[in-house]
Amino acid sequence: MTSPAERYGTPDTGAAPDPSAHVHLGVFYPGVGPQLLWAESTSHTSVATFVEVVTTLERGLFDAFFLGDGQRLRENRGKVYELDISGRPDSITQLAALAAVTERIGLVATQNTTYSYPADLARRLAGLDHLSGGRAGWNIVTTDNAWTGGNFRRPGWLEHERRYDRAGQFVDAAKELWGTPVGTTVERHTDLVDFRAVASVPRSTQGRPVLFQAGDSDGGRELAAAHADVVFSANTAYDKAVAYAVDLRARLRRIGRSVDAVRILPGAGVVLGATRAEAEDKARWIHEQTVSPARALAFFEQYWGTDLSSYDPFGPLPDIEPAEGELDPSRGTLSIDRRTGKHAQVQAWRELSKEQGLSIVDLARQVQLAHPSFIGTPGEIAEEWAHYVRTRAVDGFNVTPYQLPGQLTEIVDLLVPELQERGVYRAAYEGTTLRDHLALPGVVDGVVDGAGGTVGARTA
Amino acid sequence: MIVFVTSTLQVRRIRREEYDAVAQLTLAAYENDYQLDPDYRERLLDVAGWDRDHQVWVAEDVTSGELLGAVTTPGENGPVGRVARHNDLDFRLLAVAPGARRRGVGRLLVEHVIELARARGRARVVMNSGPQMTGAHALYARLGFRRLHERETHVLDDGRVLYAFALDLDGGAAQEARGLVLAVELGALTRDAAGVRTWVRWAEEEGFALVTFADAPASAPTGVGAAAEVGVDAGTRASYAALLTDRIGLAPTLPVTTAEPFHLATQLASLDHATDGRAGWIVTAPDSTAALATVGSPALTTDQARQEARDAVEVAHRLWDSWQDDAIVKDVATGRFVASDRLHRVDFEGATYDIVGPLITPRPPQGQVVVIADVALGLGDAADIALVPDPDGIERAHASGVARIFADLQVDLDDRPDAAEELAGRLIRLAETVDGVRLHPTSAADLAILAAQVLPRLREAGLHRPPVPGSTLRESLGLRRPANRYAVPA
Higher per-residue confidence, A330 vs B268: B268
Residue A106, helix vs strand vs coil: strand
- Mean pLDDT in chain B? 89
Task: Provide the pLDDT for residue A328.
Answer: 63
- C-alpha A438/C-alpha B107 separation (Å) is 72
Residue A427: pLDDT band (50, 70, 90) is very high
| Single-letter code of the amino acid located at B260 | E
Q: Please give the distance of CA B487 from its chain centroid, rounded to a whole number.
A: 21
- Strand, helix or coil at B271? helix
pLDDT of residue A334: 54
Q: What pLDDT is stored for residue B150 in this prediction?
A: 75
**Does the distance separating the beta carbons of B328 and A82 come in below 8 Å?**
no
Q: B213 forms bridges with which residues in the sheet?
A: B252
pLDDT in tens, B392-416: 889 889 888 899 999 999 998 877 8
For an interface test with A, the pick among B232, B267, B281 (most A C-beta atoms closer than 10 Å) comes out as B232
What pLDDT, on a 0 to 100 scale, did the predictor assign at position B98?
86
Q: What is the ipTM of this complex?
A: 0.93
Q: How confident is the model at residue A450 (pLDDT cuts 50, 70, 90)?
A: very low
Question: Among A242, A210, A248, which Cα is nearest to A226's?
Answer: A248
The pLDDT of residue B368 is above 50: yes
**What residue spans define the domains of chain B?**
2-176, 181-477
| H-helix or E-strand spanning residue B483 | none
Residue A390: pLDDT over 90: yes
Q: Which of A68, A125, A73 is nearest to A99 (CA)?
A: A125
CATH class, domain A22-273+374-448, is: alpha beta
| Radius of gyration for chain B, computed over Cα atoms and rounded to the nearest angstrom | 24
> For testing the chain B interface, which of A75, A195, A297 should be mutated: the one with the most B CBs within 10 Å?
A195
Q: Tell which residue, B292, B274, B240, has the closest CA to residue B366.
A: B274
Tens digit of each residue's pLDDT (9 = 90 or more) over B9-23: 888 889 888 999 999
- In 3D space, the residue among A54, A216, A55, A74 whose CA is nearest the CA of residue A145 turns out to be A74
Q: Is the pLDDT of residue B175 over 50?
A: no
Query: Per residue in A234-251, is it b (16+ CB within 10 Å) or e — as a string?
Result: ebbebeebbbbbbebbeb
Task: Kindly report the average pLDDT of chain A as a whole number.
Answer: 90
Better pLDDT: B407 or A44: B407
Please state, as a whole number, how many other Cβ atoms lie within 10 Å of the Cβ of residue B334.
11
Q: What is the mean pLDDT of residues B205-217?
A: 96
Chain A, chain B: beta-carbon pairs less than 8 Å apart = 207
Domain B2-176 falls in which CATH fold?
Aminopeptidase (3.40.630)
CB contact under 8 A, A197 and B339: no
In chain B, the percentage of residues whose pLDDT exceeds 70 is 95
Q: For A261-311, write each residue's pLDDT tens digit.
A: 999 999 999 999 999 999 999 999 999 999 999 999 988 988 888 899 899
Q: What is the mean pLDDT of residues B65-85?
A: 86
Contact B386, B405 (CB under 8 A): yes
B382 Cβ contact partners less than 8 Å away, ≥ 6 residues apart: B310, B313, B314, B317, B371
Start-to-end CA distance of chain B, whole Å, equals 23
Give which of B359, B384, B377, B363 is closest to B263, Cα–Cα: B359
Name the residue ranges covered by the structural domains of chain A. 22-273+374-448, 292-367
Inter-chain touch B193–A90, beta carbons under 8 Å: no
- Phi/psi at A429 (5° precision): -65, 130
Q: Which residues in chain A touch residue B300, judged by CB atoms under 8 angstroms apart? A: none
Name chain A contacts of B338, Cβ cutoff 8 Å. 80, 82, 86-87
Residue B215 has pLDDT above 90, yes or no: yes
State the fold for domain B181-477. Answer: TIM Barrel (3.20.20)
